Structure 1
């Protein structure tokens, strides 16, 4: 379904003399050819009579044009889940459909519509994978407690993935990135996993996959790799969503998040610091990367977003130049640069990447919380998409009069909420998200100038 282009709105907001300098936007809501949905037969199925909407949009990659049609590849994340109270000191998540398998799909934009088709379940030699968290004790484990919709504890899964980005591998398949490990995964065109890279285990550690710098294990839970792109020279570069939390001490103060390059042919890696807009946020951890796109071997597009000091969402696209940025790998041996303030970084001759804002999505009318997929259609045209979180959210039912927020409760993993160790009548229900959050919205943005 095509929405009214913002270009029409902009003519009313800007003088004609300046109109040519404004981005022009076409907006679409992604639909599904056969009314495809995620099956949900759980305790709150009555709230979702048509099942759950498919949550495409965790990543986006332009494939090609077919006549007037534009074709994109996209991926879902780990599946329909919702926040729930802690279990002791551990975070927990409700998985509405624990059997869900992350999907590779195609979005076709033509005739005023954006339709998602051709779903391929991600799988390996053992069959479809899941989106459930990894077991505790492994590098890449978030240490979350996975719960069903009746708050019964679920098993973890060593093969679980939370996919968040997609880029071509140059051989007909794709590279994906993941928030758990964080992992970089090579798949074929049918979704079969061919190779997985993750933080290399050191002595005494156990990992699911290796080949990436060990320091990446300090990604915040559910803040692993959020974007991935392939450079013209064949290197893969993945962006850690937020600041690393090294030894539990740096997430609130680090001045950058990491961009990690991998040469698939040699296995060589490097890491660069993307400078977040630290002064805009209450804490550095509030900054989040949405996706990245390579312009050439040194320049990237990056979405930076998050709630500012006043809890107002910001969604900005930057051009980022890595040509003068330091490889952080050498500095990690002495002290991770996340511990350094601006003066200390300068004293150590650590140079972060340079960046320049090119698009403020909020000023163009973007209302979704996050833009999670971004790709180039041509040198002057961007496409972006959000993740609709499968259209569900958690809500308290029958809360205690003095405890209206979920954080006041704990889960016992046996189906109950507790307060001060005592079972309460309060429950957590799954309910639909309202529009526009429940929709996957695809934007195509024509920029006033070429990016290359």
Structure 2
């Protein structure tokens, strides 16, 4: 992304659609420092000066385009430069809700979706598994749950007068009695002993029971065909089919998952490839989206699979899988290439993750990609539009290292050798430039094709010293329409 491309001023104007006026009369004999640039009558300053070569003015594409208020993306697989107009920040809304308990704030924002036909200010969101913390005990990491009885919940919210108001809470439940809770409710506790994180109470005095129906919700999508929700769950990793009243109907899981857990009240469909069992703990199915016609569903993993092991934690290859919603079988899988950590200061590749997605149509998705930093330390908080139309379908391939390198082990050169094209990426929103203060921008939605909405996950305020709730929803207006 740091690569520079030199073009003449006249060519540059053609690339950016004639939206700028660059004046360089009498270039011959004029030094680069003496040349001025204006855009719609306003002076702009390219980050890199122009060069006078034989009476022709040359300027890097990135320098000129960014001076004109455009994002610039370079696709090394297609040798393509993409220029995109920047959006306008149109609103900020703060969550107004009482605390769940002393020192524990209410949380939404691990997901976000807008239902067709609803007013523009109405959305649905979720929190994740509930308040939790991570503590080292005798050299091992355990997960604490201060509110063991928290029920993962879908929240219907509205934006009004600068606030996010919760209109309705839809707790998730099974059709029957969960042996752990004694009623239809489920918890946010992990599913499988020996595989998932060990759950403890807040005082670290008691190891908690596992819940085969427990969910760590990270994404939400709506299917207009049958008026139901689909949720992405980090534990499985899984996709969970839910009625509008919160009843969990079925769960898509990796092959071999059902042999490890007894959950007869929720049928497990083992249609995810077995390689998805190799997820990194707490880095599972982070995002889900459905095409507007209800035909297809997409799911993205937060981080690379450990395929074959921990050594792939720094891979740039994340998996994006596509399902036919009629059969619930996968029909395609793509490699999503995260940004290169080497292009930033001090970022670790393993700390670049996917946090949400929106399906615009079968070939166009919006993907929320971010680092693990907050405030002034943030370097990557971006929404990308990706194009799947000529991306390579790798479903059923590169899962087993015995046949060569797995997808996660591959370098860019390996991808090119195997003729694997990732989806093309184009920047839609760079939140770092807007001084976005939060680490976890995890909810993403699109309304009417040009209203982009984001929300952060406050992690229930665990460990926070801020007196405010710490959840904000921001709205942006795109200068174009996605459809």
Superposed displacement of residue 110, structure 1 = 2.7
Cα RMSD after superposing both structures: 2.6
| Shift of residue 184, structure 1, vs aligned partner | 0.1
- Give distance in 1, aligned partners of 2:173 and 2:311: 35
Per the alignment, residue 59 of structure 1 pairs with: 111
Instruction: Tell me which of 204, 208, 216 is aligned to 1:151.
Output: 204
2-structure distance, mates of 1:343, 1:71: 45
Q: 1:76 to 1:268 in 2, by over 3 A?
A: same
- In structure 2, the residue matched to 1:326 is 392
SS in 1 for 2:219: strand
- Contact 1:201–1:207 (CA<8 Å) still a contact in 2? no
The correspondence of residues 234-253 of structure 1 with structure 2, limited to 5 A, is 234-253=295-314
Larger Rg: 2
Q: 1:275 aligns with which of 337, 357, 371?
A: 337
**Contact 1:62-1:375 at 8 Å conserved across structures:** yes
Q: State which of 78, 92, 99 in structure 2 corresponds to 1:27.
A: 92
Q: Are residue 364 (structure 1) and residue 434 (structure 2) matched?
A: yes
| Local SS of the residue matching 1:274 | strand
Asked if the contact 1:60/1:375 (under 8 Å) is kept, the reply is: yes
Q: Deviations over 1:307-354 (max 9, x none)?
A: 48x964420010111122222223225342111111111112222111
Query: How much has 1:206 moved relative to structure 2?
Result: 6.1
- Residues 433, 198 of structure 1: alpha-carbon distance in 2 compared, 3 angstrom cutoff: farther
* 1:24 Cα offset (Å): 2.6
Corresponding residue of 1:220: 280
Residue ranges of structure 2 left out of the alignment (5+ in a row): 1-38, 43-67, 70-84, 178-183
Displacement of 1:248 in angstroms is 1.8
> What is residue 405 of structure 1 aligned with on the other side?
none
* Structure 2: distance between partners of 1:111 and 1:341: 49
CA distance in 2, matches of 1:218, 1:311: 31
Aligned residues of 2:378 and 2:439 also touching (Cα < 8 A): no
Q: Report the CA distance shift for 1:186/1:203 in structure 2 as closer, same or farther (over 3 A).
A: closer
Please report how far the alpha carbon of residue 117 of structure 1 lies from its aligned counterpart in structure 2 after TM superposition: 2.3
CA displacement, residues 84-112 of structure 1 (integer Å, 9 cap, x when unaligned): 11444x42111110111101111111344
Q: 1:113 deviation in Å?
A: 2.9
Q: C-alpha separation between the residues in 2 aligned to 1:292 and 1:376?
A: 10
Instruction: Trace 1:110-259 onto structure 2 (pairs within 5 A).
Output: 110-125=160-175, 126=177, 127-137=184-194, 141-142=195-196, 144-152=197-205, 153-170=207-224, 171-201=226-256, 209=268, 210-233=270-293, 234-259=295-320
Distance 1:348 1:207 in 2: 40
Is the Cα contact below 8 Å between 1:59 and 1:373 reproduced in 2? yes
- Mapped to 1, the partners of 2:425 and 2:321 lie a distance apart of 17
Bigger mean CA offset, 118-127 vs 264-273:
264-273
In structure 2, relative to structure 1, the CA distance for the partners of 1:204 and 1:76 (3 Å cut) is: closer
> 1:376-400: per-residue Cα shift (whole Å, max 9, x none)?
112111111001111122xxxxxxx
Number of matched pairs: 380
Contact 2:191 2:261 in 1 (8 A): no
* Correspondence 1:451 to 2:448: no
Q: State the TM-score, normalizing by the size of structure 2.
A: 0.73
Does structure 2 conserve the Cα–Cα contact (< 8 Å) formed by 1:164 and 1:179? yes
Other-structure match for 1:418: none
Deviates more, 1:18-27 or 1:162-171: 18-27
Q: In 2, are the aligned partners of 1:295 and 1:451 still within 8 Å (CA)?
A: yes
Structure 1: distance between partners of 2:209 and 2:118: 44
Residues 359-415 of structure 1 show CA distances to partners (whole Å, capped at 9, x for unaligned) of 10111121111210001112111111001111122xxxxxxxxxxxxxxxxxxxxxx
The 8 Å contact of residues 187 and 193 in structure 1, kept in 2 or not, is answered as yes
Separation in structure 1 between the aligned mates of residue 258 and residue 426 of structure 2, nearest angstrom = 41
Looking at structure 2, the residues matched to 283 and 314 of structure 1 have their Cα atoms a distance apart, in angstroms, of 11
The answer to whether the aligner puts 1:265 opposite 2:326 as a matched pair is yes
Structure 2 residue 144 is matched with structure 1 residue 78:
no
Q: Which runs of 5+ in 1 are unaligned?
A: 1-13, 394-431
Matched, 1:92 2:151: no
CA distance 1:84–1:249, change in 2 (3 Å): closer
State how far apart, in whole Å, the 2-side matches of 1:378 and 1:240 are: 27
How far apart are the structure 2 equivalents of 1:136 and 1:283? 30
SS at match of 1:123: coil
1:306 corresponds, among 371, 389, 392, to: 371
Confirm or deny: 8 A CA contact 1:165 1:178 kept in the other structure: yes
Question: How many angstroms does 1:449 deviate by?
Answer: 2.0
> Residue in 2 aligned with 1:408?
none
Distance in 2 between the 1:76 and 1:16 partners? 47
Distance 2:121 2:116 in 1: 6
